[in-house]
C-alpha cells in the first residue's frame, strides 16, 4: 500500500448469544479510496460498522483511526477522530431545518445569530464543493429521500469527517439519485476522504469501489481490488455457492384478466396521481411497471389491493361482473397482493407466523367455524407453508417481527401464492433482499406465471424488470406509457421515458 | 448505559417481573411510611391483616375485587385493540343507571329473569355510551382519550341531576339516592353475614370468558390484529372499523356490568358514591395484568388488598390511607419499568 492507512480494524470479534456476528475480522482502509463491504443480510456488515462507530463494543479486537486506537463503545470519540456514519435509516429530526439538523450536537442550538450565519455559509460551501445541493432553511420533513441523504452526508462533513461509512446508501434512492450520490463520492475521495460503502447490490459495488471486501457468516471471505474481480465472482463469494438466476421462458399469453381503463386518481390540491392510466394483464404474463418511485406506483398498488377507488375510469376484473373494491373483496376475487411495505402493511409484526399466514383467509370455513378459530387447521396450514416456502424460523408460533427481511418476504409469498391467485400484484418484491432471497422471489413469480397467473410487477430495478417481464410500461407523473415488448426493448428509450422525456423519444 | 433487546422471554421472567415490580413498589412506599413515623413492618403487617386477616376481611377484599375485575377487563379488552377507553367510570354509572331504571319496580319479574335482564341492560347502556366516542374516532378521527375521559364528567353530572331530581327517593330522608332495587333483583350473598355476593362469580366467569374470546374466537383474533397493526389488518381484509366498534361494545359492556354488580350486589340503590373510582382503577388493574384477562383477576385482587388493607392500617397507625393510592400508582410505574426490563436488558459500560 503506497497510500496512508487511515483506518485499521484489527481482529474484531463480536458474539450475540449463540451467533458469532463478527469472527476475527481484519480490515484496512486507505486515504482516497472507496472500500465496498459486501455481504448478504446477516453477514455481519452492519455489526462491524456499528463496532467501528462505537455503537457496539467488540468482544475482541481494536479499532485504529489515523494510527490511534479508539476507546470502545464511544460514538463521540469516533466522531472526534473523524469517522462519520450515514445510516440506512436516517437519523434526522424531521421538524427541524436542514441547518439545525446539521449543527445539532456541534454547538448550542439557540446560539446567537452570528453563529448561525457562519454555520449557514459553511454549510453552503460544503454543499457546493461536493455537489450536495440542499436548502439550509428547508425543513427535513419536506425533503425527498435523496435530499435527506445529502443532509446526512453534510452532517458528517460539517463535523470534519475524514472517513465516511455509508450503510446501504442506495437502497432508498432512485436511479438518478444514485448517480448523483456516486458523483459526490468521487468528489469526496478526490479530496482524500475514505469511504466504506456497504451494499449488496453488485453492479453498484463494481461501479463505485476501488477495493471490495466480502463478508459471509461473520468472516472475510474475499478481499480484492474491484478491477481484479467480476460481479459473478463476488456473488458467489457472498452466498458461498452459485445462484442461478431463474430465466424466463417464452410463453403465449392467454385470455385477459385485468384492465385499467383510463383510470385517474387525484391527490391533495387536485394533483393527478394517476392520469388516464390504462393497462391490460393477461394469463401467463408478467407486466412490468418501470419508473422512479413516487410517480403513481403506490396508487396502482393501492387500487389492486382494494385500498382506494378510482376517481375516474374503471378497473375491470375480467372474471367478475360487479365487485366493490375492498381489500377483503380483492382477496376473495383471487388477487394476490405482495405489498411494498412488508413490515408495516403486509405483515403484523407482533403476531405469530401462524396468525399472519391466516390473516387473509381466517374467515373461510377451513379455518373457522361458528366464530371459533380452528387451531389445528391453522397450525397445519402454517407448518405446510413454512416447509413449502422454506421460511427459516424458530417455529410457527414465533413472532414475525423477529424474522429477517428475506424470511418475512417468503412468508408473504407463502400466504399469497399458496392461494393460487389469478392476478398477482408484486410491488418491489425484492426490495432490501439479498441475492439468494431475490432469486427465490423471482423463481416463485415465474412459477406462478407458468401456472397461468398474470403478474403486475412494479419495480424500480430495471435489471429485475428486464429479466422477468413480458411487457413493460413506464410510469411518469401518473401517466403510463404504451406497453413495450421486453424482448426488443430500447434501453435508451426506457430511460428517457422514466425521466419524463417520452414525447421526444417517440 | 444502554438497552439491548432480549432474545427470548422465559416464563419465569414474564411472571416474575410484575411480582418483583410490586415488591419494589412496596419497598419505595415504605420510605413514606417511615417518614410518617411508623414502623414499616408493623404498617405492612396491619395492611395485610386488614385485608386478609379474617374471614370478614377476606370477604370484604373479595367484594372489592369484584368491580375491579370487571372494569379491569373493560380496559384490557379495549387497550388490546388500541382503543383507549378511559371512560370506564362513566360506563360503570351508565350500567348502574340502566339497572336502576329496570330494577326499581318497572319489571315485576322473578329473580332468574330480572337479574339477567339487569345485567344485559347495564351492559348495553355501558356499551352504547362508549359507541359515541368510538364513532367519533372511527369516522372523524377524534382522539378517544379526550372524549371518553370527558364523557365521564358529563355522565356523573347527569347521574347527579337524576338523583337530586326525577329519581330522588322520597323515602330516603332527603339523601340524594334512587329508589332501592326490588328484592328479586338483588344478587344473593356468597357467604353468610358478609358483603361478598354472587357478582364475584360473575366477574370470574367474565375473566375466563374474555380470555377465551381473545384466544379462541375470530373476534378475538380480529381485535388483536387491529390492535397490533390497524394498517396491516386493514390491508389483509380484516374489518377494522367494525372490530373497533365491537370492541367498544364489549369494553363498555363490561364496565356497565361492573356498575350493575355493585348496585344489585352490594349497595341496593344508586348513589353518587357507588364507585370510588372503579373505572379509573380498572385501567391500573389492566396495566398491572399486562392486559391479560386472567391476570386481571390477580391484579384486581392485589389492588383490593392494598385499598382495603390501607384503610385498616390507617386506623391502627398514623399512616394516611392515601398510602393505598401511592402504592397502586407506584406499582403501576414499577410494572411499566419491569415490562421494559423484561423485554430489554440493561448493559452498563
The ipTM value here is 0.83
The candidate with the shortest Cα–Cα distance to B266, out of B1, B43, B60, B16, is B60
3-state secondary structure A347-391: CCCCCEHHHHHCCCCCCCCCCEECCEECHHHHHHHHHHHHHHCCC
Specify if B268 maps to a domain: yes
Between strands A285-290 and A471-476, the pairing is: parallel
Q: How many Å lie between the alpha carbon of A108 and the closest alpha carbon of chain B? A: 24
Half-sphere exposure of B137 (CA within 13 A, CB side): 23
The candidate with the shortest Cα–Cα distance to B257, out of B246, B265, B247, B268, is B265
Q: What's the pLDDT at B311?
A: 85
Which set of grid coordinates corresponds to residue A77? 470519540
Specify if A370 maps to a domain: yes
Q: Containing domain of residue A98, as a range? A: 5-239
A314 lies in the same domain as A189? no
| Residue of A73, A343, A348 to mutate when probing chain B, most B C-beta within 10 A | A348
* A320, pLDDT greater than 70: yes
Cross-strand bridge partners of residue A349: none
CB contact under 8 A, B228 and A351: yes
* A155, pLDDT greater than 80: yes
Q: What's the pLDDT at A108?
A: 62
| Domains in chain B, number | 1
More confident residue, A178 or B299: B299
Q: What's the pLDDT at A1?
A: 46
Residues B326, B28 contacting (CB under 8 angstroms): no
In this complex, the residue of A327, A359, A368 whose CB is nearest that of residue B225 is A359
CATH of the domain at A27: 3.40.50.300
CB contact under 8 A, B224 and A351: yes
- Among A373-377, A448-452, B8-12, the minimum mean pLDDT is found in B8-12
CB contact under 8 A, B221 and A348: no
CB contact under 8 A, B218 and A362: yes
Q: How many Å lie between the alpha carbon of A73 and the closest alpha carbon of chain B? A: 8
Q: Chain B contacts of A349, Cβ < 8 Å?
A: 228-229
For residue B169, give every residue at least 6 positions away whose Cβ sits within 8 Å of its Cβ, in sequence order, or none.
B175, B177, B178, B179, B180, B269
CB contact under 8 A, A371 and B219: yes
Specify if A209 maps to a domain: yes
Between strands A454-459 and A285-290, the pairing is: parallel
- Among A242-246, B80-84, B87-91, B264-268, the minimum mean pLDDT is found in A242-246
Q: What's the pLDDT at A128?
A: 86
Q: What's the pLDDT at A504?
A: 47
Which of A221, A239, A257 is the endpoint of a domain? Answer: A239
What average pLDDT does this structure show over B142-147? 95
Interatomic CA distance for residues B145 and B75, integer angstroms: 12
| Residue of B3, B10, B222, B232 to mutate when probing chain A, most A C-beta within 10 A | B232
Between strands A312-317 and A256-266, the pairing is: antiparallel
A231 lies in the same domain as A133? yes
B237 part of contact set with chain A, CB < 8 Å = yes
Q: Chain A contacts of B228, Cβ < 8 Å?
A: 348-351
CB contact under 8 A, A372 and B234: no
Interatomic CA distance for residues A250 and A284, integer angstroms: 10
Q: How many Å lie between the alpha carbon of B2 and the closest alpha carbon of chain A? A: 10
Alpha-carbon dihedral A19, A25, A30, A33, rounded to 10 degrees: -40
Residues B248, B87 contacting (CB under 8 angstroms): no
B3 part of contact set with chain A, CB < 8 Å = no
B 199-228: CB under 8 A from A: 216-219, 221, 224-225, 228
Q: Chain B contacts of A344, Cβ < 8 Å?
A: 229, 231-232
A303 lies in the same domain as A397? no
CB contact under 8 A, A347 and B232: yes
| Residue of B5, B236, B238, B347 to mutate when probing chain A, most A C-beta within 10 A | B236
A415 lies in the same domain as A351? yes
Interatomic CA distance for residues A494 and B5, integer angstroms: 46
Angstrom distances, CA of residue B203 to CA of A260, B76, B210? 55, 14, 10
Using one digit for the tens of pLDDT, what is the confidence trace for B20-39? 888 888 899 889 888 888 88
Mean pLDDT score across all residues of chain B: 90
A302 lies in the same domain as A425? yes
Specify if A314 maps to a domain: yes
Interatomic CA distance for residues B97 and B161, integer angstroms: 12
Specify if B43 maps to a domain: no
Length of chain A: 506
CB contact under 8 A, A328 and B237: yes
| Residue of A18, A73, A325, A327 to mutate when probing chain B, most B C-beta within 10 A | A327
Using one digit for the tens of pLDDT, what is the confidence trace for B255-264? 999 999 999 9
Specify if A340 maps to a domain: no
CB contact under 8 A, B349 and A57: yes
Where does the pLDDT of residue A343 fall: very low under 50, low under 70, confident under 90, or very high at 90 and above?
confident
Percent of chain B with pLDDT over 70: 96
CB contact under 8 A, B228 and A305: no
Residues A418, A387 contacting (CB under 8 angstroms): no
DSSP 8-state symbol, B322:
T
Q: What's the pLDDT at A172?
A: 67
Specify if B221 maps to a domain: yes
Q: How many Å lie between the alpha carbon of B215 and the closest alpha carbon of chain A? A: 9
Q: How many Å lie between the alpha carbon of B347 and the closest alpha carbon of chain A? A: 11
Specify if A147 maps to a domain: yes
Percent of chain A with pLDDT over 90: 25
Interatomic CA distance for residues A212 and A35, integer angstroms: 5
A197 lies in the same domain as A272? no
Q: Chain B contacts of A348, Cβ < 8 Å?
A: 225, 228-229, 232-233, 236
Specify if B107 maps to a domain: yes
Which of A239, A256, A275 is the endpoint of a domain? Answer: A239
Q: Containing domain of residue B284, as a range? A: 69-295
Distance of CA B53 to the CA centre of its chain: 24
Specify if A341 maps to a domain: no
CB contact under 8 A, B229 and A355: no
Q: How many Å lie between the alpha carbon of B137 and the closest alpha carbon of chain A? A: 19
Residue B215: closest CA among chain A residues belongs to which residue? A373
Residues A346, B235 contacting (CB under 8 angstroms): yes
CB contact under 8 A, A372 and B217: yes
CB contact under 8 A, A371 and B349: no
What average pLDDT does this structure show over A244-250? 79
- Among A412-416, B51-55, B334-338, the minimum mean pLDDT is found in B334-338
Specify if B230 maps to a domain: yes
Distance of CA A36 to the CA centre of its chain: 18
CB contact under 8 A, A363 and B217: no
B320: alpha, beta or left? (left if phi > 0; alpha if psi -120 to 50): beta
| Domains in chain A, number | 3
Q: Chain A contacts of B11, Cβ < 8 Å?
A: none
What average pLDDT does this structure show over B62-79? 96
Q: What's the pLDDT at B3?
A: 67
Amino acid at each position: 500500500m503506497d497510500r496512508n492507512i487511515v483506518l485499521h480494524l484489527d481482529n474484531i470479534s463480536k458474539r450475540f448469544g449463540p451467533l458469532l456476528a463478527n469472527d476475527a475480522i481484519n480490515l484496512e482502509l486507505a486515504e482516497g479510496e472507496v472500500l465496498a463491504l459486501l455481504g448478504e443480510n446477516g453477514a455481519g456488515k452492519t455489526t462491524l460498522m456499528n463496532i467501528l462507530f462505537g455503537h457496539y463494543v467488540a468482544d475482541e479486537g481494536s479499532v485504529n483511526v489515523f494510527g490511534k486506537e479508539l476507546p470502545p463503545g464511544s460514538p463521540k470519540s469516533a466522531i472526534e477522530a473523524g469517522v462519520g456514519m450515514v445510516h440506512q435509516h436516517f437519523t434526522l429530526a424531521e421538524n427541524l431545518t436542514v441547518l439545525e439538523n446539521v449543527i445539532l450536537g456541534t454547538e448550542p442550538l439557540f446560539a446567537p445569530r452570528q453563529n448561525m450565519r457562519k454555520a449557514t455559509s459553511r454549510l453552503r460551501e460544503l454543499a457546493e464543493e461536493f455537489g450536495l445541493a440542499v436548502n439550509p432553511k428547508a425543513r427535513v420533513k419536506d425533503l425527498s429521500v435523496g435530499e435527506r441523504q445529502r443532509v446526512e452526508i453534510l452532517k458528517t462533513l460539517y463535523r470534519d469527517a475524514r472517513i465516511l461509512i455509508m450503510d446501504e446508501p442506495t437502497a432508498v434512492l432512485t436511479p438518478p439519485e444514485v448517480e448523483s450520490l456516486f458523483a459526490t463520492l468521487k468528489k469526496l475521495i478526490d479530496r482524500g476522504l475514505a469511504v466504506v460503502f456497504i451494499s449488496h447490490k453488485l453492479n453498484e459495488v463494481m461501479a463505485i469501489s476501488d477495493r471490495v471486501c466480502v463478508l459471509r457468516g461473520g468472516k472475510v471471505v474475499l478481499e480484492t481490488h474491484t478491477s481484479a474481480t467480476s460481479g459473478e465472482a463476488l456473488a458467489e463469494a457472498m452466498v458461498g455457492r452459485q445462484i442461478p438466476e431463474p430465466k424466463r421462458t417464452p410463453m403465449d399469453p392467454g385470455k385477459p384478466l385485468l384492465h385499467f381503463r383510463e383510470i385517474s386518481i387525484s391527490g391533495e390540491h387536485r394533483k393527478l396521481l394517476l392520469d388516464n392510466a390504462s393497462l391490460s394483464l393477461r394469463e401467463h404474463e408478467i407486466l412490468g411497471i418501470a419508473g422512479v418511485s413516487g410517480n403513481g406506483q403506490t396508487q396502482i398498488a393501492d387500487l389492486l389491493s382494494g385500498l382506494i377507488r378510482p376517481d375516474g375510469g374503471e378497473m375491470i376484473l375480467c372474471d367478475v361482473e360487479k365487485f366493490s373494491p375492498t381489500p377483503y373483496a380483492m382477496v376473495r376475487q383471487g388477487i394476490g397482493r405482495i405489498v411494498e411495505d412488508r413490515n408495516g402493511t403486509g405483515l403484523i409484526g407482533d403476531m405469530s407466523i401462524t396468525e399472519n399466514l391466516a390473516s387473509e383467509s381466517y374467515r373461510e370455513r377451513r379455518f373457522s367455524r361458528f366464530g371459533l378459530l380452528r387451531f389445528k387447521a391453522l397450525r397445519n396450514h402454517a407448518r405446510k407453508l413454512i416447509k413449502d416456502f422454506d421460511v427459516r424460523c424458530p417455529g410457527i408460533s414465533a413472532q414475525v417481527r423477529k424474522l429477517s427481511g428475506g424470511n418475512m418476504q417468503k412468508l408473504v409469498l407463502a400466504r399469497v401464492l399458496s392461494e393460487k391467485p389469478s392476478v398477482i400484484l408484486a410491488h418491489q418484491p425484492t426490495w432490501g433482499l439479498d441475492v439468494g432471497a431475490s432469486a427465490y422471489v423471482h423463481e416463485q413469480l415465474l412459477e406462478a406465471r407458468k401456472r397461468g397467473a398474470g403478474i403486475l410487477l412494479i419495480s424500480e430495478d430495471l435489471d429485475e424488470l428486464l429479466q422477468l417481464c413480458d411487457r413493460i410500461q413506464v410510469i411518469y407523473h401518473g401517466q403510463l406509457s404504451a406497453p413495450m415488448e421486453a424482448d426488443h426493448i430500447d434501453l435508451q428509450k426506457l430511460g428517457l421515458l422514466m425521466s419524463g422525456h417520452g414525447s421526444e423519444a417517440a | 448505559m444502554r438497552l439491548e433487546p432480549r432474545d427470548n422471554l422465559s416464563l419465569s421472567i414474564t411472571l416474575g417481573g410484575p411480582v418483583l415490580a410490586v415488591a419494589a413498589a412496596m419497598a419505595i412506599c415504605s420510605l413514606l411510611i417511615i417518614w410518617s413515623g411508623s414502623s414499616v413492618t408493623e404498617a405492612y403487617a396491619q395492611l395485610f391483616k386488614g385485608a386478609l386477616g379474617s374471614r370478614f376481611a377476606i370477604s370484604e377484599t373479595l367484594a372489592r375485587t369484584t368491580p375491579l375485575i370487571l372494569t379491569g377487563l373493560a380496559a384490557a379488552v379495549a387497550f388490546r385493540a388500541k382503543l383507549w377507553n378511559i371512560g370506564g367510570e362513566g360506563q360503570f354509572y351508565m350500567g348502574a343507571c340502566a339497572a336502576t331504571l329496570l330494577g326499581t319496580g318497572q319489571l315485576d319479574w322473578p329473580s332468574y329473569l330480572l337479574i339477567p335482564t339487569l345485567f344485559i341492560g347495564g351492559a348495553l347502556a355501558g356499551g352504547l355510551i362508549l359507541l359515541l366516542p368510538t364513532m367519533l374516532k372511527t369516522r372523524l378521527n377524534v382522539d378517544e382519550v379526550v372524549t371518553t375521559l370527558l364523557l365521564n364528567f358529563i355522565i356523573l353530572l347527569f347521574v347527579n341531576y337524576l338523583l337530586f331530581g326525577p329519581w330522588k327517593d322520597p323515602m330516603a330522608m332527603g339523601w340524594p339516592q334512587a329508589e332501592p332495587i326490588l328484592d328479586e333483583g338483588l344478587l344473593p350473598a356468597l357467604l353468610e353475614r358478609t358483603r361478598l355476593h354472587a357478582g364475584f362469580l360473575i366477574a370470574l366467569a367474565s375473566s375466563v370468558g374474555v380470555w377465551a374470546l381473545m384466544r379462541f374466537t375470530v373476534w378475538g383474533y380480529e381485535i388483536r390484529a387491529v390492535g397490533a397493526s390497524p394498517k396491516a389488518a386493514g390491508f389483509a381484509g380484516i374489518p377494522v372499523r367494525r372490530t373497533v366498534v365491537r370492541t367498544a361494545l364489549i369494553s363498555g359492556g363490561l364496565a356497565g356490568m361492573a356498575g350493575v354488580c355493585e348496585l344489585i350486589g352490594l349497595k341496593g340503590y344508586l348513589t353518587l358514591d357507588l364507585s370510588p373510582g372503579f373505572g379509573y382503577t380498572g385501567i391500573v388493574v389492566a396495566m398491572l395484568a399486562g392486559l391479560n384477562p386472567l391476570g386481571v383477576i390477580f391484579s384486581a385482587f392485589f389492588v383490593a388488598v392494598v385499598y382495603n388493607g390501607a384503610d385498616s392500617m390507617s386506623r391502627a397507625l398514623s399512616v394516611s390511607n392515601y398510602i393505598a393510592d401511592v402504592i397502586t400508582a407506584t406499582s403501576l410505574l414499577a410494572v411499566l419499568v419491569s415490562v421494559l426490563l423484561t423485554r430489554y436488558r440493561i448493559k452498563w459500560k
